[in-house]
Homo-oligomer: A and B are copies of this chain.
Amino acid sequence: MNESYERLKPYMEKAQALQTAMVLFEWDNETLAPRAAAPYTARMIGAISEEYLRVMTDETARKLAQDCGDGAGMTEAEAAALREFREEMKKLERIPAKEYREYAELTARSAGIWAEARKNRDFGAFAPTLRQVLDYQKRFASYQAEPGQKLYDVMLDSYEKGFDMESLDRFFGQLKTELVPFLRQVMDCGRQPDDAFLEGDYPKEKQEAFAGFLARYVGFDFDRGVMAVSAHPFTTNLHNHDVRITNAYTRRVDDAIFSVIHESGHGIYEQGIPDALTLTPAGQGASMGMHESQSRFFENIIGRSRAFWVPLYGRLQETFPEQLKTVSLDAFVRAVNKARPGLIRIQADELTYSLHIMVRYEVEKLLVEQGMDVRELPEIWAEKYREYLGVCPENDGEGVLQDIHWSQGSFGYFPSYALGSAFGAQMYETMKTQMDVEGLLEQGNPAPIREYLREHVHRYGKMKTSRQILKDMTGKEFDAGCYIRYLKEKYGMLYGI
């Protein structure tokens, strides 16, 4: 037992409780709260977030965290919790309280301004706000930076420890060299599948019931989780026994199907956090990228595979006989994997997805490191989409205004999506040497796959970084080659090239 840690615990627990309350307010706001509630509830959330800041910068707590020393007498889980708590403290205590409050007020407004600008396809209406948010983020990064550390590296590290511009330039460089020409090959081969049947009058209730079935099938535990409806699918959690996924239902049946598998991937990760870690600062997924690796692994590597649908496609046909009776399993699998360079990230297929991310990565570098003004965004955005994807937005709504992230100050977040996809492919390569993944899926038995991920990823929470998890699991350092091999093999097969 570590005396100081025991005395620190009530502070950690209070901070956790306040944060959990904020998570619940946010969930409620996205899924249920009445239209007119937001401005009133925001005052309460503001007060709770101020209290959170107060706890995290409390002098006694800071002293106790220091007195814990190097973690002698603590369990591994406690040591991880302490490390995360200290990092969050350090981060917050470097930001002047006044700036923190001003920034909180700014981002409380900015999502609304962004949404309005997007509706009107008018980047100009959002640009001044975005400039302010970016300025704050750069200033905050400068407070965190070690001597000589670049600001964008600080931002990247906060989402994905151990990844900086150097490693990401290499990563995206490989993708660019390999995938941009490969994509052209795929597009030029003239074998685009028909996917028109995926769109139509798919009744919402039936979609929702099937989505619930899929979540349960891949292993989301409804004793420890719920599923609801929101404008855009997301996952959140109060702790490992209360994990919440949402889904949205449109005229495209594949939207709901693959969103729910994606969110279940996130959810299964959080349900796999052990009791010793939950409700501590180490009781979450290792990083954004590692989280995306799980969601995208379930969605794409598993969920869009032919083997996955062998035992399930009949059930899907029975659910929607009008639309799918005459569509074969193979035609369905080809359709849900159709590659098609587009303008919208969240509609992108598996092959083009990381190219959307590459655009954002390069643009963020320009904004943070090259001093590019936000006014130049629409033009540079269009240029890069033309270069990598061969398409060009006709308005800001389908261009630079499509993502909410920057309005919330999340610069450095996007690369995690691409890294996650690559992490997943690397895990898959190893996993296939350990078990017959395809065979299990064909037998309708995804449990061993999920258990393997629980064993090697989920149960560590934040005790390991994503780099450590990958290395311990696959026996080698992060290697983007796996991802490129995986994509080329899969799409080579699908398109017969």
Give the interface of A toward B (CB within 8 A): 10, 13-14, 16-18, 20-21, 24-25, 28, 32-37, 39-41, 43-48, 50-51, 222-226, 228, 238-243, 278-279
Which chain B positions have C-beta within 8 A of A20?
41, 44
Q: Do A278 and B40 have beta carbons less than 8 Å apart?
A: yes
Contact between chains at B34 and A241 (CB < 8 Å):
yes
9 additional contacts (CB under 8 A) given A34-B224, A37-B239, A40-B240? A13-B47, A17-B47, A28-B28, A32-B226, A34-B241, A39-B241, A41-B241, A44-B239, A44-B279
In the complex, A34 Cα to B240 Cα: how many Å? Answer: 11
| Contact across chains for B21 and A239 when beta carbons are under 8 A apart | no
Give the residue name and chain of the B residue nearest to A38 (CB): B241
A243 to B242, CA, bound (A): 24
Between-chain CB contacts (< 8 Å), 6 pairs: A17-B43, A17-B46, A36-B223, A40-B240, A40-B278, A44-B239
The one of B24, B40, B47 that contacts A242, using a Cβ cutoff of 8 Å: B40
Chain B min CB distance to A122 (Å): 27
CB closest chain-B residue, reference A238: B41
B-chain residues with CB within 8 Å of residue A21 when the two chains form the complex: 21, 24-25, 44, 48
Copies of this chain held together in the complex: 2
Residues of B within 8 A of A32 (CB): 226, 228
- The answer on a CB contact under 8 Å between B279 and A13 is no
| B-chain residues with CB within 8 Å of residue A41 when the two chains form the complex | 20, 238-239, 241-242
With a cutoff of 8 Å between Cβ atoms, the chain B residues found around residue A47 in the complex are: 10, 13-14, 16-17
Which of A20, A44, A224, A279 gathers the greatest number of chain B CB atoms within 10 Å?
A: A44
Q: What is the minimal beta-carbon distance from A278 to any residue of chain B, in angstroms?
A: 7
Judging by beta carbons under 8 Å apart, are A279 and B43 in contact? yes
CB-CB < 8 A to A279: which residues of B?
Answer: 40, 43-44
User: Which 7 A-B pairs rank lowest in CB-CB distance, beginning with the nearest?
Assistant: A17-B47, A37-B242, A21-B21, A17-B44, A20-B44, A40-B239, A36-B241
Of A14, A16, A34, chain B has the most CB atoms within 10 Å of the CB of A34
Contacts of A43 in B (CB 8 A): 13, 17, 279
CA–CA, A48 and B41, complex, Å:
17
**B37 contacts A224, C-beta separation under 8 Å:** yes
